[in-house]
Amino acid sequence: MTRKDFIEVVKNLNTDLRKNPDKWENNSLNDYLEAISRYTEEIQAFYDNTNQNINSEIPSWKIFADILKGASIYE
């Protein structure tokens, strides 16, 4: 994933939140930031459980995008 791809992910998340706030588990900034923190702690387990060969200790645009997307629905 490129930086431009990441920008598109963020734009799409913003559009989705505006159009479908009821589909977001964490639709306030406070809740979303808390979910980002929690989801970041668990992202390696997600990659392992879905058989993705990704090391979350090596930052990438894909990992950042996965964290932002995951935090929108993380409980």
pLDDT at 75: 86
pLDDT at 55: 98
Task: Give me 9's structure tokens.
Answer: 């992910």
pLDDT at 50: 97
Type of residue at 7: I
Note whether 35 and 25 are within 8 A (CB). yes
Tens digit of each residue's pLDDT (9 = 90 or more) over 10-63: 999 999 999 999 999 998 999 999 999 999 999 999 999 999 999 999 999 999
The residue extents of the domains of the chain are 3-71
For 71, the 3-state DSSP assignment is: helix
pLDDT tops 90 at residue 9: yes
The secondary structure of 1-70 as a DSSP string is: --HHHHHHHHHHHHHHHHH-GGG-S--SHHHHHHHHHHHHHHHHHHHHHTT----TTS--HHHHHHHHHH
